[in-house]
Structure 1
């Protein structure tokens, strides 16, 4: 646990990729195999199930630290993170115990089935035996809020160096439905074991945003141009009579999309499709907000299946006739995909069709119509490109349309989490409805560190009211809010919900009176609602 705690500290203290890579390599070189497996599991979001409630943790911390409840709540509002608040409030002694990460996690797993009193004794005993830094990590695992700023790509790089294997092999080994309780470090990276896992998807190939002008690319006939669909990226796998559907976030979602599971039954064994899960009807995609009605539901009712039917819009073929074909050029994979599509007659199977134009100028004009097709712009893929691992530059680009924007007044502010726990960095924005300001969006990204500190100072000097961790501020600051889509929402006071809102810029040039109105938002809704 000491080594893992030190690793997390080093990862959190640096923004440099090389520093993080070096810290990971050192940890994997020194840790036991059991600790390696659990570290990888935590970094890839395979946490043990939570066995205690946040209410219980609050009560047990208050009891052990001998403080009043109001002081705990004030501390929590100031820190903004429960795991960190508990670690800071508890009395800690210097610990010389060498208990491994795996042993601590096994203790948490053993909480299942214990009485509340037994859980309390075990948690408080653990807190007493951990240093402050170790206690923070323990609490993060305990609450299920373990998120550290390190990508799976970086984990794969560090393990590739440690194991002296190709990063693509490591990335593929980390995919799939493996369980850290049952999987050893050796088995995780054993080639034969990887083959045995019928459900294992391939690492997704991701595109960078096109930064230079489109003219910087070579002639259009060397590129396959498709709509960039606004859905859920997924892989549909059919192997040995079984069907599996994986999201890009490495979530097995087969049961959430029974129509696609049924489609899988129509595919030949040894087939893996890469595509977009979209609500689809009468040959056309439907708005993303309709798909949202199915996300997060444990049970999909007949009503939902009827109102929000989904299809897989396939745009790549990764496995064909049981063979991994990612090393074949896109043009060849495309021919096989078209052949497969023609041989399968299924209502929920669609093919992403390339868009034809004679010049990049023509493509630029077509791209402006993206919202009419419920798309976000274009995907540009070299016809001779292989299907690589992770995000690579050069052969795949996403060429998105410009976001929609609206100017809003900051109305509420709340402290952030982690490195932002001391800053008011999460904001609520409002637009004018006559003489009233009506909240319409929340955003927490888009400002520089210097701007965030300036806003934080404003919030502290201009607070009107406090509601727990939230502060109402004098409505003076105006920000341009960018977003990808807009739709009706009876759950919001404004009657409108935005898709992916974020701060585009601080409008220091604009007084609050010149911020946009609710009528402006409704005009955008008429133009782009559902698009």
Structure 2
């Protein structure tokens, strides 16, 4: 655990992407199997230890430390694992353990085989054997929330750089190999052949777009289509198996079983997962409707009926075993159109190309698009192959201008990781006709580091009540909030839910009484 703990500690305090890549690469080269494979699985979110839950950890520390002291410490530190790691008492017999240090593989093998009744004693014994930073690494490993600023893609890139591999080739075979990735490291170090994706429904990296900044493109060279506001998915059917993958490469098949069951034609498709809306006559509903389905491991019959999912298709990567990714977009579009009759019309449709004579005409069409499921416009070069990642000049995304509202800060909470010392998560509200302030959203982005320091001081100096880690503040600060769309929501007292809210501006010049009203936001609902 020592090397893994050192790695996490350095990653937490390293901001540079290249420096993080080097730290992970150095660790993977220096660490033996299977520890490095399990560490890589932890960094990519592939470790699942169901016997260890946050409640178990809180119960263990409550047996050893005054609960009031723990609550106060947790509020100050901002992270349960770090608080427990620091407060955990040193056992009197710890010296007896020093001859046999724990490894990452031992920890995972032992915790993965536990029942929930056996887990407390085993986890406590492990914590007794470790130093504070190792305890922190153990708890993060056990609960699956590393929060060290490393995405799955970054970890895979570090692996590729460490051993001179192509990261897209790594992505191609990733889902066909289980942790601790022995075949992957055999290939990386020249002891084995490259693993194959044949007859395995693996994930292929998505082609992504650059934002279209202040500029135009020639529609003779670029096709325009709507950017739909769902989640990007890849559908893979091979050897009788179907998988749905999110943009991050997560397997979301279980959350949308009806879509997976409807895709039984060999091939790989790229599209947007959406939910049908009754008000739209069966067309796509808002993202808020889709959100009811996301992250559910078990989907009830009622959920399937109330929020029926479908995929609006953008592209085709494979037609049966034939790889089409090197073909230009225009040819792939023709192949996709020819593929459509083989699909279930209730679960799949085709994202249409926007008919615009020139860029000025497209600008007008985009400006008038406030459909609840439209996020903007995609511009795709007609001769572009399907290549992983973002390549300059091939695809552009031209999101519609955000909506804005002036809201009043109501509550603040500490952030996580490098923000754990700052109040960086803000709940804000708007006024009702009766002068009541109702929460309408929560945001934790959009501001600079200097603005964060200012906001943190404001929270500390204007706190009126505390509710555990949350502070209620004086209702005097106005925040201009930008958001992509707003929808009705039964889960919120205001009846509204914002899509991607972020702080656009701190309105120190504006009195709180002049902030927007809830009825103003209601008129923005799509």
TM-score, scaled to structure 2: 0.91
CA contact (8 A) 2:42 2:144 kept: no
| CA–CA distance in structure 2, aligned partners of residues 284 and 114 of structure 1 | 45
Q: Tell me, yes or no, if the aligned pair for 1:171 and 1:389 is still in contact at 8 Å.
A: no
> Residue 40 of structure 1 corresponds to which residue in structure 2?
40
The residue that corresponds to 1:109 in the other structure is 112
Q: Helix, strand or coil for the counterpart of 1:387?
A: coil
1-structure distance, mates of 2:441, 2:255: 29
Partner of residue 198 from structure 1, selected from 197, 200, 205:
200
1:380–1:396 contact (8 Å) kept in structure 2: yes
Q: What is the SS of the residue equivalent to 1:277?
A: strand
How many corresponding residue pairs?
A: 514
Question: 1:129-278 maps to which residues of 2 (within 5 A)?
Answer: 129-174=129-174, 176=175, 178-180=177-179, 184-186=183-185, 193-196=195-198, 198-210=200-212, 212-215=213-216, 217=217, 219-265=218-264, 267=265, 269=266, 271-278=267-274
| Contact 1:367–1:378, Cα closer than 8 Å, also in 2 | yes
| Aligned counterparts of 1:122 and 1:14: Cα–Cα separation in 2 | 32
Specify whether residues 89 and 391 from structure 1 end up closer, same or farther in structure 2 by C-alpha distance, changes over 3 A only: farther
Evaluate the alpha carbon distance shift between residue 494 and residue 272 of structure 1 in structure 2; reply closer, same or farther with a 3 A threshold: same
Residue 516 of structure 1: CA displacement?
A: 0.8
Distance in 2 of aligned mates of 1:101 and 1:167: 25
Superposed, 1:353-368 pairs within 5 Å as 353-368=352-367
Match of 2:49 in 1: 49
**How far 1:261 moved relative to its partner?**
2.5
Correspondence list, 1:507-522, <5 A: 507-522=507-522
C-alpha displacement of 1:377: 0.5
After superposition, the C-alpha distances for 1:315-367 in whole angstroms (9 at most, x for unaligned) are 11111130222222222211211111145463322111211222211111111
Q: Residue in 2 aligned with 1:84?
A: 82
- Consecutive unaligned residues of structure 1, counting only runs of 5 or more, are none
CA distance in 2, matches of 1:364, 1:389: 28
The residue correspondences of 1:418-457 to structure 2 (distance < 5 A) are 418-433=417-432, 434-457=434-457
Is the Cα contact below 8 Å between 1:416 and 1:424 reproduced in 2?
yes
Q: Deviations over 1:433-478 (max 9, x none)?
A: 2332222111111121111111111211211111111111111111
Aligned match of 1:471: 471
Q: By how many angstroms is 1:197 displaced? A: 5.2
Report the alpha carbon displacement of residue 257 of structure 1 after superposing the two structures with TM: 2.7
Q: Does structure 2 retain, via aligned residues, the 8 Å contact 1:430–1:438?
A: yes
Whole-Å separation in 1 of the counterparts to 2:199 and 2:79? 38
Alpha-carbon deviation of 1:408?
A: 0.7
Distance 1:194 1:343 in 2: 27
**In structure 2, distance between residues paired with 1:30 and 1:197:** 33
In structure 2, do the counterparts of structure 1 residues 336 and 50 end up closer, same or farther at CA, with 3 Å as the change threshold?
same
CA RMSD of aligned residues (A): 2.3
- Is 1:18 aligned to 2:18, yes or no? yes
Alignment pair present for 1:506 and 2:506: yes
Aligned equivalents of 2:462, 2:524: Cα separation in 1: 32
Taking a change above 3 Å as real, the CA distance of residues 475 and 239 of structure 1, as seen in their structure-2 partners, is: same
Q: Decide whether aligned partners of structure 1 residues 114 and 143 sit closer, same or farther in structure 2, where only a CA change above 3 A counts.
A: closer
CA contact (8 A) 2:378 2:396 kept: yes
Of 32-41 and 305-314, the range deviating more from structure 2? 305-314
Where does residue 400 of structure 1 map in the other structure?
399
**SS of match in other structure, 1:105:** helix
CA distance in 1, matches of 2:505, 2:99: 50
Q: Deviations over 1:65-101 (max 9, x none)?
A: xx31111111111112110110111245896754322
Summarize the Cα distance change of 1:114–1:225 in structure 2 as closer, same or farther, 3 Å threshold. Answer: closer
| Bigger Cα displacement from structure 2, 390-399 vs 339-348 | 339-348
| Residues 96 and 196 of structure 1, relative CA distance in 2, 3 Å threshold | farther
Query: Hey, what's the Cα distance between the residues in 1 that align with 2:79 and 2:116?
Result: 26
Deviation digits for residues 274-321 of structure 1 (CA, Å, limit 9, x no counterpart): 101112375732222222232234443444333332222111111113
Which position in structure 2 is the counterpart of 1:310?
309
TM-score by length of structure 1 reads 0.91
Per-residue deviation, 1:183: 5.4
Counterparts of 2:154 and 2:502, CA distance in 1: 26
**1:492 matches 2:517:** no
- Name the residue aligned to 2:320: 321
Report if the CA contact (8 A) 1:232-1:276 is conserved: yes
Pairing 1:68–2:66 present: yes
CA contact (8 A) 1:33 1:184 kept: no
**Secondary structure in structure 2 of the residue aligned to 1:194:** coil
Residue 404 of structure 1, CA deviation: 1.0
CA distance in 1, matches of 2:187, 2:146: 22
Contact 2:268 2:319 in 1 (8 A): yes
